[in-house]
Amino acid sequence: MFIKIHKTYRDVVAICDSELIGKKFEQDKFQLDIKESFYKGEEITPEKATELMQKLSEEDSTFNIVGESSVSTALKAGIISETSIKKIQNIPFAMILA
Protein backbone atom coordinates (compact mmCIF):
# COMPACT_ATOMS: atom_id res chain seq x y z
CA MET A 1 0.00 0.00 0.00
CA PHE A 2 1.03 3.60 -0.50
CA ILE A 3 0.98 6.44 2.00
CA LYS A 4 1.47 10.10 1.20
CA ILE A 5 1.33 12.86 3.78
CA HIS A 6 0.28 16.27 2.49
CA LYS A 7 1.45 19.04 4.82
CA THR A 8 -1.11 21.80 5.34
CA TYR A 9 -2.40 23.46 8.51
CA ARG A 10 -3.35 19.87 9.35
CA ASP A 11 -1.70 16.80 7.83
CA VAL A 12 -3.80 15.13 5.13
CA VAL A 13 -2.87 11.45 5.01
CA ALA A 14 -3.64 9.58 1.78
CA ILE A 15 -3.45 5.78 1.99
CA CYS A 16 -4.43 3.34 -0.74
CA ASP A 17 -3.85 -0.15 -2.02
CA SER A 18 -1.03 -0.17 -4.60
CA GLU A 19 -3.10 -1.77 -7.37
CA LEU A 20 -5.68 1.06 -7.27
CA ILE A 21 -3.31 3.89 -8.24
CA GLY A 22 -4.53 5.68 -11.36
CA LYS A 23 -7.99 4.10 -11.37
CA LYS A 24 -11.36 5.82 -11.26
CA PHE A 25 -14.59 4.36 -9.89
CA GLU A 26 -18.08 5.78 -10.40
CA GLN A 27 -21.43 4.81 -8.97
CA ASP A 28 -24.63 6.82 -9.05
CA LYS A 29 -23.58 10.45 -8.57
CA PHE A 30 -20.33 9.60 -6.78
CA GLN A 31 -16.80 9.26 -8.09
CA LEU A 32 -13.61 7.95 -6.51
CA ASP A 33 -10.50 9.02 -8.44
CA ILE A 34 -7.27 7.46 -7.14
CA LYS A 35 -4.87 10.03 -8.54
CA GLU A 36 -1.19 9.20 -8.45
CA SER A 37 -0.37 12.80 -7.51
CA PHE A 38 -2.48 12.54 -4.35
CA TYR A 39 -2.07 8.93 -3.21
CA LYS A 40 1.27 7.64 -4.51
CA GLY A 41 3.90 8.24 -1.89
CA GLU A 42 6.00 5.76 0.01
CA GLU A 43 5.15 2.07 -0.40
CA ILE A 44 4.85 0.54 3.07
CA THR A 45 3.86 -2.66 4.82
CA PRO A 46 0.56 -2.97 6.73
CA GLU A 47 2.57 -3.07 9.99
CA LYS A 48 4.31 0.22 9.20
CA ALA A 49 0.98 1.70 8.03
CA THR A 50 -0.67 0.74 11.33
CA GLU A 51 2.12 2.42 13.28
CA LEU A 52 1.95 5.60 11.17
CA MET A 53 -1.87 5.79 11.26
CA GLN A 54 -1.93 5.52 15.04
CA LYS A 55 0.78 8.17 15.42
CA LEU A 56 -0.80 10.57 12.91
CA SER A 57 -4.30 10.15 14.37
CA GLU A 58 -2.95 11.62 17.62
CA GLU A 59 -1.76 14.70 15.71
CA ASP A 60 -5.14 15.93 14.43
CA SER A 61 -4.69 14.55 10.90
CA THR A 62 -7.28 13.97 8.21
CA PHE A 63 -7.30 10.57 6.46
CA ASN A 64 -8.32 9.45 2.97
CA ILE A 65 -8.14 5.65 2.90
CA VAL A 66 -8.99 3.52 -0.15
CA GLY A 67 -8.91 -0.23 -0.83
CA GLU A 68 -9.48 -3.53 0.98
CA SER A 69 -6.02 -3.78 2.57
CA SER A 70 -5.75 -0.11 3.49
CA VAL A 71 -9.23 0.05 5.05
CA SER A 72 -8.64 -3.23 6.90
CA THR A 73 -5.36 -1.87 8.26
CA ALA A 74 -7.09 1.33 9.41
CA LEU A 75 -9.70 -0.78 11.23
CA LYS A 76 -6.96 -2.77 12.97
CA ALA A 77 -5.16 0.47 13.85
CA GLY A 78 -8.35 1.67 15.53
CA ILE A 79 -8.64 4.93 13.59
CA ILE A 80 -11.90 4.03 11.82
CA SER A 81 -14.96 1.94 12.62
CA GLU A 82 -17.11 -0.25 10.38
CA THR A 83 -19.72 2.52 10.20
CA SER A 84 -17.25 4.96 8.61
CA ILE A 85 -16.58 2.65 5.63
CA LYS A 86 -18.40 3.35 2.35
CA LYS A 87 -18.11 1.59 -1.03
CA ILE A 88 -18.10 2.65 -4.66
CA GLN A 89 -18.15 -0.25 -7.13
CA ASN A 90 -17.29 -2.55 -4.21
CA ILE A 91 -14.11 -0.55 -3.44
CA PRO A 92 -14.11 0.35 0.27
CA PHE A 93 -13.00 3.79 1.37
CA ALA A 94 -13.10 5.98 4.44
CA MET A 95 -12.50 9.69 4.90
CA ILE A 96 -12.08 10.81 8.45
CA LEU A 97 -10.98 13.64 10.62
CA ALA A 98 -9.09 12.22 13.58
Quote the number of domains for the chain. 1
Containing domain of residue 49, as a range? Answer: 2-97
Query: How confident is the model over 8-60, as pLDDT tens digits?
Result: 888 999 999 999 999 999 999 999 999 999 999 999 999 999 999 999 998 88
How far is it, in rounded angstroms, from Cα 98 to Cα 88?
22
Angle between helices 68-77 and 46-57 (to 10 degrees): 50
pTM for the full predicted model: 0.92
CATH number of the domain at 40, please: 3.30.1860.10
Cα distances (Å, whole numbers) of residue 52 to 11, 14, 39, 94: 12, 12, 15, 16
